[in-house]
Structure 1
Amino acid sequence: MPIDYAKLKSWPVPDIVQTYDVRDTILYALGVGCGGDPMDRADLAYVYEEAIKVLPSMGVVLGYPGFWLKDPATGIDWRKVLHGEQGVIIHAPLPAAATVVGKSRITEIVDKGKDALLFSERDVIDQATGQLLCTLTSTTFLRGEGGFGGPTGPTPQPHSLPDRAPDLTVDTPTVPQAALIYRLSGDYNPLHADPDIATAAGFRQPILHGLASFGVACRALLRACCNDEPANLKEMKLRFSSPVYPGETIRTEIWRDGKAVSFRARVVERDLVVLNNGFAQLD
């Protein structure tokens, strides 16, 4: 049954009220690889409650409305859904503990013929102050869902990386239990935990969440470009290109052009790009 464009475009994604504390903030940072070196004081700041810092990428787990595309009434086969792109715009530093409201909306659905693209946004708002903390942007690839007669464009072009060797690289090892830690921040998709489901999907083992790799790249940008000050990172976005297996090393390759930063990430062990077309804006 083809997508009903008008119905899906106006889908009432529920607002989510979420209260989190310092323990949740630390758990998120552990899930994206912080704290691997107990003598790294810069890294410790993200996982130790004394003067704790918050990774800007943590916005992706705040006010999350859940996998609502699994609802049969959407007309989408959720098993064919892929997370294509993710971005975060930081409007104010994320607090280490707060009650936030996540307000999600679908901005467009593009008919690509065979497949479709769903574009969505989420504002994360501090409930106590009304402060807009961050805006999350996401592109979801709907395999085999095209041909419903919707708009065929336009679609944003991916950010082009410079045609030169990277200026900086940051290697981040992941631990074998990385996906099991990250899922405790709210994404319980069994693909990241259950070997039977992972192998049935064509993987040799459960894979790391794409948004965990997103957090690894954020941590690398803070280290390499922001003097480990989260407030210096105002925006980052990227395209997911391949999964990571927990235990692999993620190498973030970075190009600096003033306050504009380009980046990608590859797994060292397989020399495979897993995050591509990355862009970040510095303060």
Structure 2
Amino acid sequence: MPLDYALLKALPPIAARHDWTARDTMIYALGIGATDLPFVYEAGLSALPTMCGVLAYPGFIWKNPDYGVTWQKVLHVEQTIEIHGAIPAEGRFSADTVIESIVDKGADKGAIITTSRRISDGAGHHFATARGAIIARGDGGFGGGDPAAPSPEPMPESAPDFSVSLPTSASQAMLYRLSGDYNPVHIDPEVARIGGFDRPILHGMCTYGVAGRALIAALCGNDPARLASMTCRFSAPVYPGETIRIEIWQDGAGEARFRARVEERGLFVLNHGRVQYR
């Protein structure tokens, strides 16, 4: 069944409601490799800002056969978070995920599907917006679709102002998936091979969280409340166990740009990153 553009664009919002505990917040932090006590210890626990990427997340919806998406070939390619208020370390959270656009890149290139969700707490306070894009690599060429987004600005050619290297563990994807992203490409070798990888890959949102740790450490004095927004493109996958090097350029007051590469292969895995901080 081909990707059904009309059906996907007409979908009603996909509701998700999560009762999130302090234990969940600590599991998320460990899933992105954090070991600082404020993020992993219930005494004075603080939520890392990138955690809003998993709060009220509806799960891996692309396995729904009605959507006509070849789910084994789905990859996360872009992510933005906007923080409007303090992220609670526990509570009841809700969000409605909507499909914003579907871009047909062609039969040999796939389709880009962008979704967004407004995340609120149990009292209805909207504290974050998360917007992400996936590439359905097996589902281009359906014809029509929405206009493509403009290309991002090139990255600086100067040496970065900060560089931070952070390791991942061989079991990182197994731990990170406990925060709600159960795409089998991150744990099942057979699904990974179908997707074109020789072994399971790390979640793009885990790499994103690792970069977020580097950004708040370098720019925000390790205070998660100071991060206002973070956006980037995923340019290549990370394999669990690799070391991620985050390069950061200050770009005016309260703004910076960043990218990340894996040291073992010298390959950029995050690119065209922008961050705003308080």
State the TM bucket, normalised to the shorter chain: over 0.9
Q: Alpha carbons of 1:199 and 1:147: their partners in 2 closer, same or farther (altered >3 Å)?
A: closer
Whether 2:199 is the aligned partner of 1:181: answer no
Q: Give the AA of the match of 2:217.
A: R
Displacement, 1:168?
Answer: 0.3
Contact 2:60 2:182 in 1 (8 A): no
Displacement, 1:156?
Answer: 3.4
C-alpha RMSD over aligned residues: 1.6
What SS class does the counterpart of residue 46 from structure 1 fall into? helix
Q: Alpha carbons of 1:236 and 1:269: their partners in 2 closer, same or farther (altered >3 Å)?
A: same
Q: Alpha carbons of 1:198 and 1:118: their partners in 2 closer, same or farther (altered >3 Å)?
A: closer
What are the ranges of 5 or more consecutive residues in structure 1 without an aligned counterpart? 36-42
Q: Alpha carbons of 1:109 and 1:215: their partners in 2 closer, same or farther (altered >3 Å)?
A: same
Contact 2:5 2:145 in 1 (8 A): no
Whether 2:45 is the aligned partner of 1:48: answer no
**Equivalent-residue separation in structure 2 for 1:202 and 1:17 (angstroms):** 33
Contact 2:76 2:134 in 1 (8 A): yes
Q: Give the AA of the match of 2:64.
A: D
Look up the match of 1:92: 85
Contact 1:159 1:279 in 2 (8 A): no
Q: Alpha carbons of 1:20 and 1:159: their partners in 2 closer, same or farther (altered >3 Å)?
A: farther
Aligned positions of 1:11-26 closer than 5 A? 11-26=11-26
Whether 2:27 is the aligned partner of 1:32: answer no
Displacement, 1:192?
Answer: 1.8
Q: Alpha carbons of 1:107 and 1:201: their partners in 2 closer, same or farther (altered >3 Å)?
A: closer
Q: Alpha carbons of 1:87 and 1:69: their partners in 2 closer, same or farther (altered >3 Å)?
A: same
What SS class does the counterpart of residue 245 from structure 1 fall into? coil
Look up the match of 1:220: 214
**Equivalent-residue separation in structure 2 for 1:269 and 1:150 (angstroms):** 40
Look up the match of 2:128: 134
Q: TM-score, with normalisation over the residues of structure 1?
A: 0.92
**Equivalent-residue separation in structure 2 for 1:110 and 1:139 (angstroms):** 10
**Which of 105, 110, 126 is matched with 1:112 structurally?**
105
Contact 1:13 1:65 in 2 (8 A): no
Displacement, 1:210?
Answer: 0.9
Look up the match of 2:268: 273
Look up the match of 2:75: 82
**Equivalent-residue separation in structure 2 for 1:152 and 1:105 (angstroms):** 15
Please list the CA deviations of residues 166-219 of structure 1 after superposition, one character each: whole Å capped at 9, or x if unmatched. 110111111111111111111122222233433454433322111100000000
Q: TM-score, with normalisation over the residues of structure 2?
A: 0.93
Contact 1:2 1:147 in 2 (8 A): no
Aligned positions of 1:256-267 closer than 5 A? 256-258=250-252, 259-267=254-262
Identity across matched positions, percent = 49
Contact 1:159 1:278 in 2 (8 A): no
**Equivalent-residue separation in structure 2 for 1:52 and 1:237 (angstroms):** 25
Displacement, 1:81?
Answer: 1.9
Please list the CA deviations of residues 94-136 of structure 1 after superposition, one character each: whole Å capped at 9, or x if unmatched. 1000100021101111223333221110111102x21112111
Please list the CA deviations of residues 199-258 of structure 1 after superposition, one character each: whole Å capped at 9, or x if unmatched. 454433322111100000000000000111112110001111111111111110000112
**Equivalent-residue separation in structure 2 for 1:9 and 1:123 (angstroms):** 18
Q: Alpha carbons of 1:270 and 1:113: their partners in 2 closer, same or farther (altered >3 Å)?
A: closer
